[in-house]
Amino acid sequence: MEYLHSHNTLYVCLVFLVVFIVIKSTSTAFKPGLRSIPGPFIARFSCLYRPWKIAKGDAPDFYRRLHQQYGPIVRTGPNTVDISDPKAIPIIYGINSKFLKSPFYDTFHPVYEDNPMPSMFSVRDPVQHQALRRPVAQKFSMSSIKALEPFANECTNIFVDAMRDLEGQCVDLSVWLQWYAFDVIGAITFQRRFGFMEKRQDVEGMIDALDKGLYYGGIVSQVPALHHWLLGNRWVAKFIAMQPFIDVAHPLRTILEFTQKCIDDYDRNSADHADRPDFLAWLRGEETKGKPMPNRDMINHLSNNLLAGSDTTAISLRAIIYFLVKNVSAYHKLQHEIDQADQAGRISEYITYAECLELPYLQAVMKEAMRCHPGVSFPLERVVPEGGATFSDIHLKQGTIVGINPAVIHHDKTMFGDDADAFRPERWIESSEAHIKLMDRHLMTFGYGSRTCIGKNISIMEMGKLVPQIIRHFQLEWASDQPEWNVQTFFFAKQHGLKCRLRRRQQVPQP
């Protein structure tokens, strides 16, 4: 009897649990303010809809299809709404916006000494963000970039020499451009290249580890609560690190350990570093001026350079080369602009940041490539603040998660024209000045508002120096047996299979 009684009690508890879950899911699905928003039926009930749909790595196409089917505002989860209305951009992301980052970003916190360490990218509190940004903002300014250019020149020289060595062969530039970006940011940060280009391999498996980390973050961040039961849990993370059966990549730990090693090496030989312009030397120099920085913050800033500054620049470089190779007219126009500048003596042996800004078609090509293929191609999630907000005549209550996906908004035809799906750099030159400014205000390549990527100028500098150097010295052609590249998107839209053949150009004829 006791056995039957205990089992009956268990069944009753299970029934009550199921009933509770059904009632809660139903009440959330038909929550006032959200129930009228169109979207996939299952998304109303389950937060697992999004990770299930984006697990294939095709998030940009997935979100574009949703908006084509349901309109400018789509419900993608029980409490999540995706928006494609350009008018919503300044409301959600503007300088004075009260929309704060959602728990999505908690998944991307590095862990330092067993505790989460919010970075400038992942921190959600605007006060903490400003506190992190203030001590280093000067080093990221345009006026500070000039001192960093020699690092990029060294890496550009290595890259060009390697392409000469590989002349006529099928070269996977998707790999080489990542190696270049990683080596440049390593030199800028520590005056120390990782050696990817010289060794022609993924040093210590760092890039592969970062790819796996992005896959984890891209999926788990869709349901942030899961992170606290997975790698966000210190005991789970320690167990996974200690168990001998499966080799689990831990990219954040690898980068943090490398950063600490570089700091230790610098401090052991500090007398030899008086004139170094890299980030580490600059931060140590600021300390001598009475601006001490805790080691945790030092680690945070330097490692964030590597984590945020390699993938994003590599993605943009790949996009520029891809769209040029696939659009012969644009390729020839850019080549002509560079040749003319070369013949007129307006560009140096190593093109400077200032010189690249004076090449209007180059700047249009760069901007258009990043519009067509933004590095971040997930919705940039924010939380509706107190008082709620109205979009497309729909009022959303406080606490609703909203987001705009750059990969969707950058293809908006009301903003970028009926040919918004096409790569056409001329739109940034031939349009009226007023319309160019309007398009500029709706680009989200580097984020938006107060959360714009602090490393934007460094990334543009790298691209503006390397791309014209490649076009100046080589003729590129598509060499893959596949008609297109392959893109896998887990927050970053990373491209693979950018296979080209490079041939040294003959001496450019004089005009």
The pLDDT, as a whole number, for residue 509 is 43
Give the SS3 label for residue 486.
strand
Question: What integer pLDDT is reported at residue 266 of this predicted model?
Answer: 86
pLDDT band at 246 (very low <50, low <70, confident <90, very high): low
Q: Per residue in 302-336, pLDDT tens?
A: 999 988 888 999 999 999 999 999 999 999 999 99
3-state secondary structure 217-284: HHHHCCCHHHHHHCCCCHHHHHHHHHCCCCCCCCHHHHHHHHHHHHHHHHHHCHHHCCCCCCHHHHHH
Give yes or no for a contact between 196 and 179, defined as CB atoms under 8 angstroms apart. Answer: yes
Angstrom distance (rounded) from CA 293 to CA 282:
12
Q: Does 109 or 17 have the greater pLDDT score?
A: 109
| DSSP string over 384-428 | --TT-EEETTEEE-TT-EEE--HHHHTT-HHHH-TTTTS--TTHH
- Distance (Å, whole) CA 379 – CA 54: 12
Among residues of the chain, what percentage have pLDDT more than 70?
A: 89
* Residue tagged 């140096």 (tokens): 348
In the prediction, which pLDDT does 121 show? 93
Residue 253 has pLDDT above 70, yes or no: yes
Q: 39 CB contacts (<8 Å, ≥6 apart)?
A: 66, 70, 74, 75, 76
Q: Is 393 left (phi over 0), alpha (psi -120 to 50) or beta?
A: left
- Rounded CA separation 310/351 (Å): 21
Q: pLDDT for 112-141, tens place per residue?
A: 888 889 999 999 999 999 999 999 998 888
List pLDDT tens digits, range 271-292: 666 678 889 989 988 888 888 8
Radius of gyration of the chain (CA): 25
Residues 231 and 216 sit within 8 Å (Cβ to Cβ): yes
Residue 464 tokens read as 């503006």
Percent of the chain with pLDDT over 90: 69
* Alpha-carbon span 231 to 225, nearest angstrom: 11
- 442-465 pLDDT tens trace: 999 999 998 999 999 999 999 999
Mean predicted confidence (pLDDT) in 144-159: 93
* Helix/strand/coil for 205: helix
User: Which residues contribute to the annotated binding site for heme?
Assistant: 453
In angstroms, rounded to a whole number, what is the distance separating the alpha carbons of residues 235 and 233? Answer: 6
Q: Residue 497, class by beta-carbon neighbours within 10 Å (0-12 exposed, 13-18 middle, 19+ buried)?
A: middle
Q: Side-chain half-sphere of 159: how many Cα atoms within 13 Å?
A: 30
Query: Which domains, ranges and CATH numbers included, belong to the chain?
Result: 126-379+405-504 (1.10.630.10)
- Binding site membership: which residues? 453
pLDDT(409) > 60: yes
Residue with tokens 């500090």: 270
What is the rounded CA–CA span in Å between residue 174 and residue 488? Answer: 13
pLDDT tens, residue by residue, 346-379: 999 999 999 999 999 999 999 999 999 999 999 9
Q: What pLDDT score was predicted for residue 248?
A: 62
Strand, coil or helix: 172: strand
Among 86-90, 180-184, 305-309, whose mean pLDDT is lowest?
305-309
The pTM assigned to this predicted structure is: 0.92
Is 383:334 a contact under the CB 8 Å cutoff?
Answer: no
Nearest to 184 by CA among 212, 159, 209, 213: 159
- How much is the average pLDDT of 428-447? 95
CA atoms of 396 and 391, how far apart (whole Å): 8
- For residue 234, what pLDDT is reported? 81
Residue environment code for 201-214, b if the CB has 16+ CB neighbours within 10 A, otherwise e: ebbeebbebbbbbb
